[in-house]
Structure 1
């Protein structure tokens, strides 16, 4: 899913472009992060298929994430990295991100990974379309057209006869809206240290799931008791792949501007489709690929247009 610590391309300030080699390094790091995040999604889907409750998967994802990131970041950046300048916005982003995580894992219970990822890719297009109201940015027809075309692509993916579970489709659309909210919250934290945001988002999720877990664990104890060593290792890996994915994203956006990297974020669909094929032998059909291509293509085109506007500025 497109869980990025960087903001969408809308309204990003213009700045001098770094050297070509550095930008290519940013693209490579971004693609590595896409593989990590797609692995997180696949691991969570597989663990739930083996009987792990949703709340346990989410709890492990956040607790391992925040422990790993804290061990890697705090010794290098010092304790000051734990102190946010915008506490309320950090809490808001963390809560929205937690809700999006729970909803996307719910989506993965019903839908193949590639299709679920394609639906969620509506999120950045929704932000661009709503930018005049939620981000107070000038209205642009190109953004609204891109959002409309992207939604048309999603309609092809979820078309009648596609075989997709309606509950999963609904969860996917809600997830896209939640991730759009997460992107907007990230924009409000543009002046914050990205490592601080990463730690606080993981911390809010870990605390939130720790509060929820005792009230929901009892019904899932029989299933948890049947989990073996492999299942527990996969559960731990969700936090590792999630934490590493976000760290790689931060480094990617430090090497190259967000407007340049935005089109490459859609390559995550190739990661999701590959893992879905390797693990579940599921590969999207031609019509589904057409819808995925339309959605991703609209995002790539608008990202390139935004990048060219910034360069012209």
Structure 2
């Protein structure tokens, strides 16, 4: 039986975000091995660039560097590069499940940033859900007590910057093919981090480390590609909840690699965060459906 439509989109999305969890695990291992975050980021985007340069030509797609809004593409890509630097820096110190839970605040930030950037109207229900979601983040962060790790704030900054990137992606997706955005993301991250290699580059200590440097870009690039393919087969408003697969995979990898499971605060915060995120998704989905039918709905 051949899958198509929404079932295929869900599987592609789940595979894509699972690769992001694997990418984060590799970044954490390399960081713990002593490699500089900028070297890890450079390797991640350089391998991504090789994939991005090849993909359009494999299926006769558009020339990837031809954008109708190149400045917007450059700014958007610079944001995700900054977010990656923050994430790689924080991952060295945070448990995988904690980092993944904090990263899941990005959809909440997207809804928040859509108000000034896209001019969207957000009603009291979704604003309340956002407040509840950020309350869940406080359970994970635990500010003011001994277990609080300042690196959690760096991961939160990564999520906020990623959300701004995703907000701008909503604009670029309307004016440029996905292959163009995919290419710009890779080339900006690779080129921007390249000058730092003269100061921080360290030859991989062994074959295993070299393999991880190659794999981190492959998993990251293929993850982005699968997510793009998922959105071609199914609407974002329908498949969005399955992005939480990344959190579940991160928990599994944290147990597999580090023999560590989240503590009670992280479980509770994740539950609150996912619940509020699903509610926001439900409101977005209902709103989009009503707009398609031209039936007014409260937000």
TM over 0.5: yes
Once residues 147 and 162 of structure 1 are traced to their aligned partners in structure 2, the CA distance between those partners, rounded to angstroms, is 27
C-alpha displacement at 1:300, in angstroms?
1.0
Q: Is 2:259 the counterpart of 1:281? A: yes
What's the counterpart of residue 205 of structure 1? 189
**Aligned mate of 1:232, from 210, 229, 252:** 210
Q: Is 2:224 the counterpart of 1:241? A: no
**Aligned mate of 1:132, from 115, 120, 127:** 115
**Aligned mate of 2:37, from 43, 54, 64:** 54
Report if the CA contact (8 A) 2:39-2:200 is conserved.
Answer: no
Report if the CA contact (8 A) 1:27-1:264 is conserved.
Answer: yes
Residues 1:75 and 1:28: Cα distance change in structure 2 (over 3 Å): closer
Once residues 309 and 184 of structure 1 are traced to their aligned partners in structure 2, the CA distance between those partners, rounded to angstroms, is 18
Q: Is 2:198 the counterpart of 1:214? A: yes
C-alpha displacement at 1:132, in angstroms?
2.3
> C-alpha offsets along residues 30-53 of structure 1, whole Å, 9 cap, x if unaligned?
000111111110011111112222
C-alpha displacement at 1:236, in angstroms?
0.5
**Aligned mate of 2:93, from 87, 101, 110:** 110
**Aligned mate of 1:312, from 277, 290, 293:** 290
C-alpha displacement at 1:161, in angstroms?
4.7
Report if the CA contact (8 A) 1:122-1:147 is conserved.
Answer: no
Superposition pairs of residues 259-278 of structure 1, within 5 angstroms: 259-278=237-256
> C-alpha offsets along residues 82-125 of structure 1, whole Å, 9 cap, x if unaligned?
31111001100111011000000011011111111111221221
Runs of 4+ in 1 over 3 A off after TM superposition: none
What's the counterpart of residue 9 of structure 1? none
Once residues 260 and 252 of structure 1 are traced to their aligned partners in structure 2, the CA distance between those partners, rounded to angstroms, is 11
C-alpha displacement at 1:231, in angstroms?
0.7
Where do 5+ consecutive residues of structure 1 fail to align?
Answer: 1-19
Once residues 95 and 146 of structure 2 are traced to their aligned partners in structure 1, the CA distance between those partners, rounded to angstroms, is 12
TM-score (norm 1): 0.87
C-alpha displacement at 1:79, in angstroms?
5.8
Q: Is 2:179 the counterpart of 1:195? A: yes
115-124 vs 102-111, which moves further: 115-124
What's the counterpart of residue 24 of structure 1? 7
Report if the CA contact (8 A) 1:127-1:184 is conserved.
Answer: yes
C-alpha displacement at 1:193, in angstroms?
0.6
**Aligned mate of 1:152, from 90, 111, 135:** 135
Once residues 269 and 248 of structure 2 are traced to their aligned partners in structure 1, the CA distance between those partners, rounded to angstroms, is 14
Once residues 211 and 79 of structure 1 are traced to their aligned partners in structure 2, the CA distance between those partners, rounded to angstroms, is 29
